[in-house]
Amino acid sequence: MTPQNAPETVVSRCLVIGSGIAGLQFALLAAQGGPVRVVTKKESRESSTNYAQGGIAAAVSPLDDFASHVRDTLEAGDGLCREDVVRRMVEAGPRLIDRLLGYGVAFSREADGGLALGREGGHTRRRVLHCRDLTGREIEERLLAACTAHANITVDEDHMGLELVRGAEVGLDGAAAARIVGARVLDRRTRQVVLHLADAVVLATGGCGKVYLYTSNPDIATGDGLAMAFRAGAELRNLEFVQFHPTCLFHAEAKSFLISEAVRGEGAVLINHRGVRFMARHHPQADLAPRDAVARAIDQEMKASGENCVYLDLRHLDRAMVEARFPNLVAACRRFGLDMAGEPVPVVPAAHYMCGGVAVDLEARTTLPGLFAIGETACTGIHGANRLASNSLLEAVYFAESAAAAVAAEPRLFGARLPVVTAPGAEATAGRAATLPVVVEHDWDELRRVMWDYVGIVRDRERLEIALGRVRAIRRTVETVRRRALPTPELAELANIALLGELIVICALSRPESRGLHYTLDHPGRQPVAVDTVIRRGVPLAGEACWEAPGADVG
């Protein structure tokens, strides 16, 4: 019998936290083995997947080959990719695309019926499948429709994961005591905490773009899965590698609006305020260089000129082609008073993708038994120090498949049985002090501005140390308030971005080199051997070759 003060308890075979392409693809595959519960913060379709304009990269053309795709991925990753993992994913690409087609994903076609393939930065071949310029939305809608129709899948909207639960906390003993067996989840509508238990827990919560003031990510991207995993003791890797997308629309009324890299793939070029092309001075691939190189070049141009942006120029391209290939972008620009095909479009870099994440193996297992991570939440070894454009969706479906196969072999701990909840913290929180809205609002803004100003595209030790002090002070204030307050989504999200901000700074301080997305003026060259930055609670930094740690009490 469950104690009177215990939260509502829900039991399933698998608990998935997050509803992007990774979480939904996993749910569809894992549902063959039993009930799957998907919890998601807002509407089911609200995810970074839904905002992915460009496409999904796969070597499906007879003019392409696996070796080329692997080589491009490794080149972009700047020495930190795991080649064996990259090769497995790339070789699975055509099969994974066939599965998406089976769900009804309507990839764009050529006049002869063949798949239309685009090219993006870092790719030496045209291999990006797309659905005009709304690829993520199309995939999300098809997978969500399949999940909704599946008898074994339940999707709970407006539910936010708060913390992971171990077996010992719900009365399990032996090996099961140390396993992750569920999560405490906040119902955003009722503000009640629900205890979700499962034989396997899968984190698919996306990234943490909202750590930065300017980001292409949706508002939900507050690093919840990363923070939950870290607090539970899981190993995280390479958090210093935050990818800044080079071309977000620079407009006072635009919020997080991305101009797809596919636009440059079709021939658009970057120009400065004088109308001069500049990318050829910065990289041999010019406007189709990898994202880290393009973002740094734009940053350098802006600092040299004192201007607030650069421009994406499509005026030399055929207007009919532009409007047919990018109808969503053309319409969006028009709403902001811009003619995308007829005038230069102002753009700036913005935080876009976390290339690090929760460390996982080939089966998406984390360092904690019972816990898996997929999608942007995970660090799989695919992206290394810089993600190749449009590899993220392919990685998501590949590791969703791997995780589903691994979860099928997980022990059954619960079935339909409800355990006795004895965990500290499971009791109702009535009687605690109310959340201080002014603290949430002030610290939310200050933290994100500090991260943008001091932990951006180009870094140095002095600025990182300033950032560390300020971010730590904010996190301690937030944790003090959180201990006293009723759980709210706003406070939980602030606590998560404060924690991730501190971890990103610590990892950046620990890497004495410039590699991929991490460029520091103190160490502009690379170390001869590429190593991962490994961090976990209670152990500031560890790894194959430990960098000098700045000294931190994180957790």
Tokens of 165: 């639960």
Q: In this structure, are residues 18 and 147 in contact, taking their beta carbons and an 8 Å threshold?
A: no
Strands of 56-57's sheet in order across: 56-57, 128-129, 117-118
Q: What dihedral do alpha carbons 277, 283, 286, 288 form, nearest 10°? A: -140
Return the closest-CA partner of residue 24 out of 119, 145, 135: 145
- What are the residues whose beta carbons fall under 8 Å from the beta carbon of 94, sequence distance 6 or more? 58, 59, 60
Instruction: Provide the 8-state DSSP code for 340.
Output: T
Alpha-carbon gap, residue 271 to 327, rounded angstroms:
23
Please pick, among 291, 365, 472, 515, the residue that the annotation labels catalytic.
Answer: 291
Kindly give, in sequence order, each residue whose CB lies less than 8 Å from that of residue 90, ignoring residues fewer than 6 positions away.
Answer: 58, 59, 66, 69, 70, 73
**What is the chain's Cα-based Rg?**
23
Provide the b/e sequence for 123-138 (b: ≥16 CB within 10 Å).
Answer: bebebbbbbbbbbbbb
Catalytic-residue membership of 291: yes
DSSP class of 155: E
The C-alpha atoms of residue 86 and residue 106 are separated, in whole angstroms, by 26
- C-alpha distances in angstroms, 406 versus 18, 106, 116, 409? 19, 30, 34, 6
d(CA 499, CA 396): 25
Catalytic residues, by residue number, are 291
